């Protein structure tokens, strides 16, 4: 028996029911030799005694039994727990009866006579279904039991736990926050959590996409205008900043804000006053700013593409969101959450994700991060995922060595990021020698420059260290 099959069967049982002692002994032995844990019963009544409320396994039963027959046993099992697969063994004359049983919820039926391989294959498929159902139920319980910030910022990885901790630490302060992360990592969700857990939660949460407002309308949208300020201004309009008074203002994609308006925004942030277009009066506003970006604002300011004074005004409390590839262990619970949401949205039943799909999800690179995973969950619920499998073009089954390499690379990259690309503290944190460190970054194709802190000295970065050591 293969190790993968042994793992799949671990903890699951087969209640096998047949009143013929010879058949019962023979087929029970066949199942046991294939790795199943078998409880053989001579009657339906005896089988029911083995099926408790937390029964992990399946039921295989002959249809024709003395006393309670196999169909009645099936109905009893399904009534107690519809998730327990029931396989019926039928004679030739019982086919129409078996078809009816399938309509009532039977998992499958096997017609006599049958090869033993057919019984083993059917039992294995049924147990895989049972295992997946139990896994989905566990994830759903975890989702239902989560409260507060954990119900929004899902995941158990150290990276996302650190993000939740930082959010709760900053939420009820007056500090403006700069949220940095790749596309789709959940920057707006972080801003919403900061708002929800602050004393400003009863105020408005106002989100502005700085790249989505035409430049000709930007000043009016953000700062508001008085009646007659321009041709089409028929009445006074309160701007987004003023609307956020007492609440939180999210400036998403702040790097795309026109330079001409960055000056006025900077003054508003410093003085907490806003002047509507066409007005000479300043209105005092009390709001908290959360700015979000996927770019390095420091680099943009050096290039003259973002005002450095605005960058330094925003660069006080910084939250960096990890990409999905750096917290792969969170993918199953996120995917289940999105599947449940999609099922509600589209009025469909939430399907269980096959093991192969979960492996592909765990191995994918996810350039679109959590947003991309949500889209895949939507297509999965709609039955459209098979048509777009190229998105998940990863090996059907990763070897143990491949999976270890993926985890090792992600861990090294995450530690490099935490220590500004400095080899010495990275080696200390990972408990490895420098020679081993350089061997591994070369092996994984990791580029140190992308992690290096621009303020670090050459000595800090050990730039004299040879980069091609192996061993």
Q: What confidence score (pLDDT) does residue 391 get?
A: 52
Split into its structural domains, the chain has a count of 4
Alpha carbons 179 and 317: distance in angstroms, whole number? 9
Alpha carbons 106 and 54: distance in angstroms, whole number? 19
Q: Which residues contact 198 (CB under 8 A, 6 or more apart)?
A: 171, 172, 248, 288
Q: What confidence score (pLDDT) does residue 185 get?
A: 94
Q: 48 and 105: one domain?
A: yes
16-72 tens-digit pLDDT: 999 999 999 999 999 999 889 999 999 999 999 988 777 889 999 999 899 999 999
Tell me the range of 20-24, 141-145, 218-222, 396-400 where mean pLDDT is highest. Answer: 20-24
CATH value at residue 233: 3.40.50.300
65-109 tens-digit pLDDT: 999 999 999 999 999 888 899 999 987 666 777 778 888 889 998
pLDDT band at 466 (very low <50, low <70, confident <90, very high): very low
Within-domain flag for 130: yes
Question: Which residue among 320, 339, 356 closes a domain?
Answer: 320
Specify the range with the lowest mean pLDDT, choosing from 39-43, 204-208, 246-250, 276-280: 276-280
Q: 43 and 69: one domain?
A: yes
Alpha carbons 170 and 181: distance in angstroms, whole number? 18
356-393 tens-digit pLDDT: 788 788 888 899 999 999 999 999 999 888 655 555 54
Q: What confidence score (pLDDT) does residue 396 get?
A: 44
pLDDT at 320 over 90: yes
The average pLDDT across 315-328 equals 92
HEC secondary structure over 13-48: EEEEECCCHHHHHHHHHHHHHCCCEEEEECCHHHHH
Q: 167 and 135: one domain?
A: no
Between the two ends of the chain, the Cα-to-Cα distance in Å is 37
Within-domain flag for 469: no
Q: 184 and 214: one domain?
A: yes
Q: 285 and 422: one domain?
A: no
Q: 348 and 415: one domain?
A: no
208-249 tens-digit pLDDT: 999 888 888 888 888 888 887 787 777 888 889 999 999 999
Which one, of 166, 170, 168, 190, lies nearest residue 179 by Cα? 190
pLDDT band at 354 (very low <50, low <70, confident <90, very high): confident
Within-domain flag for 442: yes
Cα dihedral across residues 99, 101, 105, 107: positive or negative: negative
Tell me the range of 88-92, 175-179, 406-410, 413-417 where mean pLDDT is highest. Answer: 175-179
* pTM greater than the 0.85 cutoff: no
Question: Which residue among 320, 343, 374 closes a domain?
Answer: 320
pLDDT at 470 over 80: no
**Mean residue pLDDT across the chain:** 83
Question: Which residue among 143, 171, 195 closes a domain?
Answer: 143
**Tokens 């993918």 identify what position?**
331
Within-domain flag for 297: yes
Residue 284 is part of which domain span? 152-320
The average pLDDT across 108-137 equals 84
H runs (alpha helix) in 91-245: 95-104, 116-145, 158-171, 187-196, 215-223, 240-243
User: What secondary structure does DSSP assign to 206-243, as a single string?
Assistant: EEEETTSS-HHHHHHHHHEE-TTSSTT--S-EE-HHHH
């Amino acid at each position: 028996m293969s190790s993968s099959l042994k793992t799949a069967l671990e903890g699951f049982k087969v209640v096998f029911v047949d009143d013929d002692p010879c058949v019962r002994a023979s087929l029970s032995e066949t199942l046991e030799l294939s790795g199943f844990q078998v409880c053989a019963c001579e009657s339906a009544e005896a089988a029911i005694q083995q099926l408790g409320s937390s029964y992990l396994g399946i039921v295989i039963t002959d249809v024709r039994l003395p006393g309670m027959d196999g169909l009645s046993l099936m109905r009893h099992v399904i009534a107690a727990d519809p998730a327990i697969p029931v396989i019926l063994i039928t004679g030739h004359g019982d086919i129409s009866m078996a078809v009816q049983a399938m309509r009532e919820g039977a998992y499958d039926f096997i017609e006599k006579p049958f090869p033993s391989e057919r019984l083993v294959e059917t039992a294995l498929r049924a147990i895989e279904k049972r295992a997946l159902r139990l896994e989905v139920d566990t994830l759903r319980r975890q989702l239902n039991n989560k409260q507060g910030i954990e119900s929004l910022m899902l995941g158990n990885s150290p990276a996302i736990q650190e993000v939740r901790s930082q959010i709760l630490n900053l939420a009820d302060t007056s500090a403006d926050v700069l949220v940095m992360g790749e596309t789709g990592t959940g920057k707006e969700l972080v801003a919403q959590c900061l708002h929800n857990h602050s004393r400003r939660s009863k105020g408005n949460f106002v989100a502005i996409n700085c790249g989505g407002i035409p430049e000709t309308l930007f000043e009016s949208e953000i700062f508001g205008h008085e009646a007659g300020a321009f041709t089409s201004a028929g009445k006074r309009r309160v701007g987004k900043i003023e609307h956020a008074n007492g609440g939180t203002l999210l400036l998403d994609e702040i790097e795309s804000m026109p330079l001409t308006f960055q000056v006025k925004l900077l003054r508003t942030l410093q003085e907490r006053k806003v002047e509507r277009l066409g007005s000479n009066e300043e209105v005092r506003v009390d709001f908290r700013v959360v700015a979000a970006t996927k770019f390095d604002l420091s680099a943009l300011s050096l290039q003259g593409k973002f005002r450095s004074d605005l960058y330094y005004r925003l660069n006080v409390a910084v939250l960096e969101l990890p990409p999905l590839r750096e917290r792969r262990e969170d993918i199953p619970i996120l995917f289940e959450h999105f599947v449940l949401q999609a099922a509600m949205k589209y009025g469909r039943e939430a399907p269980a994700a096959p093991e192969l799909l979960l492996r592909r999800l765990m191995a994918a690179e996810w350039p679109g991060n959590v947003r991309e995973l949500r889209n895949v969950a939507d297509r999965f619920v709609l039955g459209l995922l098979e048509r777009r499998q190229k998105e998940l073009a990863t090996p059907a089954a990763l070897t143990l060595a491949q999976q270890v390499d993926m985890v090792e690379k992600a861990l090294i990259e995450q530690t490099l990021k935490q220590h500004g690309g400095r080899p010495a503290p990275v080696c200390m944190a990972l408990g490895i020698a420098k020679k081993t460190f350089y061997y591994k970054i070369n092996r994984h194709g990791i580029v140190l420059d992308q992690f290096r802190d621009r303020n670090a000295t050459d000595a800090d970065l050990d730039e004299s260290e040879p980069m091609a050591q192996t061993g």
